[in-house]
Every structure is written in C-alpha cells, then in structure tokens.
Structure 1
Amino acid sequence: MRVRVAITALGITAALLALPACSTDTTGAKHQTPSSARTGKLSGAVHKPAALSSAALESRLLDQSDLGSGYLSKSQRPAQHDDVTVIGCPALSELGGGAATGGTLTFPRKAKTAFTYGDSSSEFSEELYSDTANKLSAGIGRIFDAMTGCPAYQVVAGGTPIDITAQKLPAPRRLGDQQWSQLLTFSTAGRSTVVKQTAIRDGNLLLIVSGAPALVDRHLDKALAKATATG
C-alpha cells in the first residue's frame, strides 16, 4: 500500500498538468507566487530555441549508471482511468480532478523514468518535457499553486479515499530559470507516504523529480545537469 499511494500521488499531479496550457496564461500570471514568478529570461527572451524531441529527452534522463548502486529501474504502469473525486480543494476540482490518476503529461515531447532504491519502499522518478517557455511555465505554475493552495484535502480514486496534505517548500533558486517545490503526504488505510516534488524550468525544458525527499535532494542537481547538457 505504501508504494501504491506514492504512485497514485504522482499520477494526480501529472494528470492535472495535462490540461491545455493555452488556457492558463492569464490565470497563471494573476496567481503567481514568488517561487513561480516569471523571470527576465521568460518575458524578455529574444531567441526561441526549438523544442527537443522525445527521443532527445530520453537520452537526457538519468540512468542506473548515473545514480549508483542500490537502484533498480522500475517499469511504468499503464495509464489508469479510475473515477476520481477531489474533496475539500475547489482549485483542484476546477482543474479536472476526475482524471487525476492518468499517466504522463500531454506536452507532446516528453520522457520519463523511475527507480526503486534499497528495499524498494523508496522511489524516485524523473520526467522531462520540452515546449515553449510560456507553456511550460503556465502549466506547471498553475498546478503547483492549486495543490499547495489547499493545505489538506481528500482524493477518492477508484473508491479508495486518500487524505492529502500539501506544503510549499523553498525552491532551489540557484537552478534554472524558474523553480517550484512541494512536500505531499498521502494517507490511506492507516499508512502514510511522503513525496517531495521539485520542478525546474530551464529554457524550453521542464524537469520534474519526485519521490522520497532524500532521493530528490540527492539527485536533483545531477538530473538538471544531464538534462541541460549541450555537449
């Protein structure tokens, strides 16, 4: 149950981010927090580099040789389509909580990997997306604002109630052009799972690392360095 809750948690965020970015520009700008404020690179950029292909993104993901010993690649679960209801968080309900256990985001260029560590109770996942800076910023900013704007709520997925608490965390401002971070606690059937999720936008790349807090902190810098390497 502990691992299953963590997977469900990441699916909630991923599915909500799948909403069309074109409808989020105004909302995102109106409700931006300091951690999601647009930078000069976003608003005043002159060059608009082409988005990377999914194949190119795949080659920039961390692999077992990057992570070190003790990590095992985790097979991706097929997309789920359970009925989902969000209770106690209108902002998330408005974003379409009914699709909360979907799979990856619908940005057309994407790549994802996931690992277990040690006794397999700890997990770490990495997602890469490429699109225009505006679309990436609007999409991820809207979701983080909605999730951290509700300190406690419940999601009922496939008939299973999951109590969720969300806490906004200081983002690592030294990394990338924009940063977001949050700590989520998922509780069900008397068990709890804590998931840290940090997103970094660097130009036309969006990196999202999620999982056990210690693993996210350990590999964030390395993931961004490989994702943005040009050599």
Structure 2
Amino acid sequence: MRVRVATTALGITAALLALPACSPETGGADQQTASSSRTGKPADAHREPATLTSAALVSRLLTEADLGSGYRPKPQRAGQHDDATVLGCPALSELGGDAATGGTLTFPHKAKADFTYGSSSSEISEELYSDSPTKLSDGTNRIFDAMTGCPNYQVLAGSAPIDIATQKLPAPHDRGDEQWSQLLTFTAEGRSTVLKQTAIRDGSLLLVVSGSPALVDRHLDRALAKATATP
C-alpha cells in the first residue's frame, strides 16, 4: 500500500492521502539527539509589533523560483482532515477543534505553500502565521508540548490507523525570538515516513517548515529570510 502522511499546521495529525511510504529519511528518528523543542525567550507582552495580513503573508512565502529546479506546487485538498481522530495522546485530544484533528491553527492571519521535489516525491511545506507575539508564543508552545509529550500515539484517518512517534530536536537557537523543532515518524501497514518540523517566531510572525528532513534543513534559512524581509 502506498501511503502519504500529510501534516497540517505544526503536524498535529496525519491523514491517509496518496504518498509513497519509505522516504529516504525513514529511520532517521533513532539517529537524532533529543533536546528541548523550544528555545529562545518567551514573548514580551510590552513589545507588540504590528501583525501582518494574510495577503502580506502570501507575498512572503517561498515560490518555485526561490526553491530552484525540481520543485512543483502541490495542490491543496479541501477537507482532507475531517475524519482524523487522535488516540493515545490525551494532551492532543484536549486541545480540541482543528488543533487536535489537523486543521490550520486558529491565528487570524495565515498563508501556506506546499511543494513536491524530484521523482521521489519528497515534500516540503511552509506555513506563515501572524498574531501578537504572546499569542503566537503561547499557542505554538502548547501544541509542541502536547505532541512531544506523547512519544507514541495513533491517528485514525477514516478507518486506517497511523502510528506516530515524536521526538524533540535541537532547535536553531540563533534564529528569530523563539524556536521549536521535532521529528515525526509515521507508520502505516509496516511502512514508515519521517518528517521534520521546525517553527520559528520572529516578533509577530510565525514560520513553520515541515517535510523531508533534508529539504527542511536546506530551505529553512531561505524561508526565514524572505518571511522576515523588510518590504
């Protein structure tokens, strides 16, 4: 069976789509060194930079031209997470709503771009959110804590079970104001796919880059530079 694990905002859950299992990064989880998923200083409630509109965020997303040859946009699929259920992770279940079942985060301004790369169908996803620094900080930390607090849990996508293992990773502490990072391993019918996810808050902007670990590492700095560039 060919399974694709599709994560949405902060990889809260997974849904069965059509992804080739067994990515080149499969098995990488055991080779990573665990550390705090969050670094940096919490948001300063007395310093509130202006939020950005969704239209402004769209203009700051990476494009095919930014990524280089071999990347193609991946079409959005509406309603793909409607039947996802989290099992074995009360902290995630208690979040409720879209956060627990895989919808986008509830920050008021957001934009997203998804790409596939090469013939192996590796993927990379970029999400941008804007809200007050305090709300971005609290919301992102709450979700990462819930996920990494459950090292193993399961998601039912329809009637198909997907086992998920999470592991904290060292976050890039020299970027932005706060940083989070984790590795997720999705297993369905004995086949596994590994996904890396790194989030960086810079003032009133939150960047989340998810996908093949090699692609996340390759494009994280480029995504952050474009997202935070002064118009």
Report the TM range for the smaller structure's normalisation.
0.7 to 0.9
Identity of matched residues, %: 69
Matched, 1:86 2:111: no
Amino acid at match of 1:36: R
Amino acid at match of 1:153: Y
2: CA distance between counterparts of 1:98 and 1:132?
A: 20
TM (norm. structure 2) is 0.83
2: CA distance between counterparts of 1:35 and 1:102?
A: 20
Which structure 2 residues correspond to residues 170-209 of structure 1 after superposition, within 5 A?
170-209=170-209
Q: Report the CA distance between 1:109 and its aligned residue.
A: 0.7
Tell whether the 8 Å contact from 1:165 to 1:186 is kept in structure 2 after alignment.
yes
Which structure 2 residues correspond to residues 135-214 of structure 1 after superposition, within 5 A?
135-214=135-214
**Other-structure match for 1:13:** 11
2: CA distance between counterparts of 1:141 and 1:169?
A: 14
Q: Which moved more, 1:163-172 or 1:114-123?
A: 114-123
**Other-structure match for 2:41:** 39
The alignment's C-alpha RMSD in Å is 2.4
Kindly tell me the number of residue pairs found equivalent between the two proteins: 211
1: CA distance between counterparts of 2:88 and 2:190?
A: 20
2: CA distance between counterparts of 1:163 and 1:76?
A: 24
2: CA distance between counterparts of 1:197 and 1:117?
A: 17
Q: Report the CA distance between 1:36 and its aligned residue.
A: 3.1
2: CA distance between counterparts of 1:118 and 1:144?
A: 30
TM (norm. structure 1) is 0.83
Gaps of 5+ in 2: 14-34
**Residue 60 to residue 94, structure 1, CA distance change in 2 (3 Å):** same
SS in structure 2 opposite 1:186? Answer: strand
Amino acid at match of 1:173: H
Gaps of 5+ in 1: 16-32
SS in structure 2 opposite 1:43? Answer: coil
Give deviations 1:191-221, integer Å, cap 9, x for gaps: 2111100000000000000000000000000
**Other-structure match for 2:222:** 222
2: CA distance between counterparts of 1:2 and 1:186?
A: 13
Q: Report the CA distance between 1:226 and its aligned residue.
A: 0.3
